[in-house]
Amino acid sequence: MTLAARISGVGRYVPERVMTNEELEATVETSSEWIVERTGIRERRIAAPHETTSSMGTEAARRALASAGITGAEIDLVITGTCTPDGLFPATASAIQNAIGATHAGAFDVNAACVGFLSGLATGAQFIATGSAERVLVVGAETLSRIVDWTDRGTCVLFGDGAGAVVLERAVPGEPGSIDSLLLRSDGSQAGLLYSHGPCSPLVDGLQQEAKIIMDGRAVFRQAVTMMCDSATEVIARAGLTVDDIALAVPHQANMRIITAMSDRLGLPMDRVYVNVDRYGNTSSATIPIALAEAEAEGRLKPGDRVLFASFGGGLSWGAMVIEWAGVGSRRLVAASAARSAGA
């Protein structure tokens, strides 16, 4: 099942404030050596007090629109993958839709924890494939620093803030650019391994429970490797491809050891796996679009490349996707300039 949707723009935004491992050494019983050895993370970004998931998502969205060469008014739908929305409602996507001037667009959020961006991308691609939309903006944005338990060394060293975005638009037959296969899965029976309460969670002794990340890291780790590898293997096969056809994998950036285990098990060498977990830690829904925007900026993608996405997280949930890279720049602009030349 190939969906005729292509990524035509990418953008990312990370807050200025860098929090190093050394800073964490001063607040919890940990060491930079432990964090680097067990996770690969050296630093992460922390949102400024005035920043929110929508403000970071908006900045990433503006850059994605600029990369596609289009304006917000040309977007039909804004989908934001996030588990740290600005509020319970309205949707964070509505704030982004307003800020970018997407005056003809619908907007909604998708919460699938770290699989939020992939779930949004799968949804957006299907809006395009069914003909309901021509151009969809898919954002992955998180302000995890506001739900991290800064006294828990088992989690506080892992997470960071940031946002990434892509413009998805209708693919053109005969030109590179498609969603070749996708898979989304969930096992809600394992919700207790990684979760955060919210304002509507059951009251305990009449009291609201604080929103903070609670995780059994070791159990999640074990599952993560299996989930990433099994789903990646399945989407590659469903696309009629082999691992050798994958030019670049852009996996969820949670832990360097999970990424290298995936590379080993799939037989996909690390020089074809994009990594930036060292600089940002785990930004949940934002990891894949941030990494994709950086890979594009570094010239690691060329039209026709097959790119693998794979993610896992709270739910538990997991998923993977194979796309054919189209190169950035909206096809609408190509069509308009072809029409101009034909008229000249």
Q: Which residues pair with 163 in a beta bridge?
A: 13, 141
* Alpha-carbon span 26 to 23, nearest angstrom: 5
**Which of positions 105-144 make contact with ligand UT7 (CB under 6 A)?**
114
Least distance to ligand UT7, CB of residue 93, Å: 21
251 and 228 Cβ atoms separated by less than 8 Å:
yes
- Give whichever of 35 and 100 is closer to ligand UT7, judged by the CB atom: 35
Place of tokens 């300039």: 337
Long-range contacts of 261-265 (CB under 8 A, 24+ apart): 261/225, 261/229, 262/225, 262/228, 262/229, 262/232, 262/310, 265/225, 265/229
Go through 63-72 and write b for each residue having 16 or more CB atoms within 10 A of its CB, e for each that does not.
bbbebbbbeb
Least distance to ligand UT7, CB of residue 198, Å: 18
Which positions are annotated as active-site residues? 114, 252, 282
Tokens of 88: 């319970």
Compute the C-alpha angle 149/152/156, nearest 5°.
65
- Give whichever of 265 and 332 is closer to ligand UT7, judged by the CB atom: 265
Least distance to ligand UT7, CB of residue 271, Å: 23
- Give whichever of 8 and 283 is closer to ligand UT7, judged by the CB atom: 283
**Which of positions 25-44 make contact with ligand UT7 (CB under 6 A)?**
30, 34-35, 38-39
Least distance to ligand UT7, CB of residue 141, Å: 15
Place of tokens 């309205």: 90
Contact residue for ligand UT7 among 77, 78, 147, 157 (CB under 6 A):
157
- Give whichever of 21 and 123 is closer to ligand UT7, judged by the CB atom: 21
Least distance to ligand UT7, CB of residue 232, Å: 16
Least distance to ligand UT7, CB of residue 118, Å: 12
Contact residue for ligand UT7 among 69, 99, 126, 153 (CB under 6 A):
153
Residue 313 binds to ligand UT7 (criterion: CB under 6 A): yes
* Alpha-carbon span 122 to 108, nearest angstrom: 14
**Which of positions 247-266 make contact with ligand UT7 (CB under 6 A)?**
254-255
From 193, 197, 198, 196, select the one nearest 215 (Cα to Cα).
Answer: 193
**Which of positions 76-105 make contact with ligand UT7 (CB under 6 A)?**
none
- Give whichever of 134 and 152 is closer to ligand UT7, judged by the CB atom: 152
From residue 199 to residue 228, what is the string marking binding to ligand UT7 with x (rule CB under 6 A)? ----------------x-xx-xx--x----
**Looking at beta carbons, which residue is closest to ligand UT7?**
217
Tokens of 103: 């005056």
Q: Give the pairing of strands 77-81 and 317-324.
A: unpaired
* Alpha-carbon span 56 to 95, nearest angstrom: 11
Residue 69 binds to ligand UT7 (criterion: CB under 6 A): no
Contact residue for ligand UT7 among 90, 154, 198, 327 (CB under 6 A):
154
Q: How many residues form the binding site for ligand UT7 (CB under 6 A)?
A: 20
Least distance to ligand UT7, CB of residue 329, Å: 32
DSSP-assigned states of every residue in 120-157: HHHHHHHHHHTTS-SEEEEEEEEEGGGT--TT-HHHHT
61 and 137 Cβ atoms separated by less than 8 Å:
yes
Contact residues: ligand UT7, CB under 6 A: 30, 34-35, 38-39, 114, 153-154, 157, 194, 215, 217-218, 220-221, 224, 254-255, 282, 313
